[in-house]
Amino acid sequence: MQSATFSPLPHAGGILKNYINGEFVDSELYFDNINPVNGQRINQVSEANQELVDSAVAAARTALKGEWQQMSLAQRCALLHKVADGIEARFDEFVAAEMADTGKSLNQAKTIDIPRGAANFRVFADLVKAQASECFHTATPDGLGALNYSVNKPLGVVAVIAPWNLPLLLLTWKLAPALATGNTVVVKPSEETPATATLLAEVMDAAGIPPGVFNLLHGFGENSTGAMLTQHTGIDAVTFTGESKTGSAIMRAAADGVKSLSFELGGKNAALIFADSDFDAAVEGTCRSVFTNGGQVCLCTERVYVERSIYPQFVAAMKAKAEALKIGWPTDHDTDMGPLISHQHRNKVLAFFHSAKADGAEVVCGGGVPSFGDERDQGAFVEPSIFTGLSESSQLQRQEVFGPICHISPFDTEQQAIELANNSEYGLAATVWTQNLSRAHRVAQQMDVGITWVNTWYLRDLRTPFGGVKLSGLGREGGVHSLSFYSEPMNICIKL
């Protein structure tokens, strides 16, 4: 029997501490970090209290006007490149920590999560050097004119609240542009995935990031570290990725201080499969968009709409693909899907399964918990699941599940497909599968989402705008859009 031991595993059996003003700090109030593969404790985490939150914010405010502000842009960017180098130097440790916290496969951690975590620092360090400003020659009555030009200034102290599904990747996706534009930060990773953020603090320290520029606080959201941070008067902006209802709570907390906000929230993403699509590619791509990371990616597909003439064939092909997925040890090279993040989240996902069955859904495959006969039975695994037969008003079709599940429905016309896809309170992403070029452009532009993929999924250019509409978010991240959020343009007028 294979063991679920991860090696090398930093801080195994120890304590993950907070990092404030260049020092690791212990609050002596702890919570357990649990491995979702087998339910065993990996280590303990020091939960930040109000005193530590105050200290971290104060350190960030002091650093904002200190050495970090006095550095040239070239020096600041060089440090961010050193951070990227530091992640890569400890690559195996980051992979092990990410796998232990999330249960995701070795292949995903090695090829996506950790490489992108490092790449984000390089991308934004290079992009900020070309950040645009404006300059205008303005006519004046005396004929001499005036020169108006803008300079980009940092927002100030930014609270960075990261999710548990792609812990390092999505943390650095926010952190890198915030630092590149000269802000200081207080980071709160998810309580479910504290390890890679702690390793990142060690890398920041070793790279020479000045004390107070990067601060790390562990803890929960409501009535804990997250709430203390978002409500803090010393915070100038909040960037958050997570559930829509949490985004609403943060918005209320930030209202009094009129803090700048950037939210990437939930999704109930649709895939449209037209009869003229490359059938095999559409099945392969949709299977990937449904089941990647156990469906625990904001961009994953949960609603699949298939043109009626190929509907039975498509459902059968998806069933075969789902049943062929290997659920297992993250360390196995052929593992396709690991566990969900926690037993609590599994209970939420299973509740959706039960609701769907009660509403009369047909279970095409899955719908339950796999049995292994070993310590994985104590983990948080769920079967890859496909349902059909539900109305658009059912709970499964309306609410985000965030698990390895999709519902497949038929459609008859292009217009009906568009209406079905847009019939959601969410609006993050959509996929369209067709070989008709005109239809591809026509349908893609009618999706009420922030990003539409045609004949692909999860293909990203980090320079492009990323974000959602409706309950799926506020603002855009990526490229110059991230730089614009984390900086404030100031106009200077010089009379000539």
For the chain, the three-class secondary structure string (H helix, E strand, C coil) is CCCCCCCCCCCCCCEECEEECCEEECCCCEEEEECCCCCCEEEEEECCCHHHHHHHHHHHHHHHCCHHHHCCHHHHHHHHHHHHHHHHHCHHHHHHHHHHHHCCCHHHHHHHHHHHHHHHHHHHHHHHHHCCCCEEEECCCCCCCEEEEEEEEECCEEEEECCCCCHHHHHHHHHHHHHHCCCEEEEECCCCCCHHHHHHHHHHHHHCCCCCCEEECCCCCCCCHHHHHHCCCCCCEEEEECCHHHHHHHHHHHHCCCCEEEEECCCCEEEEECCCCCHHHHHHHHHHHHHHHHHCCCCCEEEEEEEHHHHHHHHHHHHHHHHHCCECCCCCCCCCECCCCCHHHHHHHHHHHHHHHHCCCEEEECCCCCCCCCHHHHCCCCCCEEEECCCCCCHHHHCCCCCCEEEEEEECCHHHHHHHHHCCCEECEEEEECCCHHHHHHHHHHCCCCEEEECCCCCCCCCCCECCEECCEECCECHHHHHHHCEEEEEEEEEC
Q: Which residues are catalytic?
A: 264, 298
Name the residue type at position 297: V
Residue with the bigger pLDDT between 9 and 104: it is 104
Asked whether the whole model's pTM tops 0.85, one would answer: yes
Domain with CATH 3.40.605.10 in the chain: 15-265+472-495
Over range 358-367, report the average pLDDT.
98
308-327 pLDDT, tens digit per residue, is 999 999 999 999 999 999 99
Which residue would you say has higher pLDDT here, 403 or 133?
403
Q: What pLDDT is attached to residue 235?
A: 97
pLDDT tens by residue, 193-249: 999 999 999 999 999 999 999 999 999 999 999 999 999 999 999 999 999 999 999
Average pLDDT over residues 405-426: 98
Average pLDDT over residues 17-28: 96
Confidence of residue 4 (pLDDT cuts 50, 70, 90): very low
User: In the prediction, which pLDDT does 1 show?
Assistant: 28
Give the pLDDT confidence score for residue 7 in this predicted structure: 43
Fold of 269-460: Aldehyde Dehydrogenase; Chain A, domain 2 (3.40.309)
Asked if residue 182 lies in contact with residue 76, where contact means CB atoms within 8 angstroms, the answer is yes
Q: Which CATH architecture has domain 15-265+472-495?
A: 3-Layer(aba) Sandwich (3.40)
pLDDT-based confidence at residue 189 (cuts at 50, 70, 90): very high
174 C-beta neighbours (distance < 10 Å), count = 26
Q: How does pLDDT run across 43-84, given as a tens digit for each residue? A: 999 999 999 999 999 999 999 999 999 999 999 999 999 999
Q: How confident is the model at residue 253 (pLDDT cuts 50, 70, 90)?
A: confident
Could you give the residue range(s) of every CATH 3.40.309.10 domain in the chain?
A: 269-460
pLDDT for position 13: 73
Residue 8 — very low, low, confident or very high, per pLDDT cuts 50/70/90?
low
- 7-11, 187-191, 285-289: range with lowest mean pLDDT: 7-11
| 357: pLDDT strictly greater than 90 | yes
Choose among 326, 296, 336, 339: nearest CA to 100.
339
Residue 2 has pLDDT above 50, yes or no: no
Average pLDDT value for the chain: 96
Q: Angle CA(450)–CA(271)–CA(190) in degrees, nearest 5?
A: 55
440-475 pLDDT per residue, tens: 999 999 999 999 999 999 999 999 999 999 999 999
Q: Rounded to an integer, what distance in angstroms lies between the CA atom of residue 419 and that of residue 411?
A: 10
Token pair in block for residue 165: 């599904």
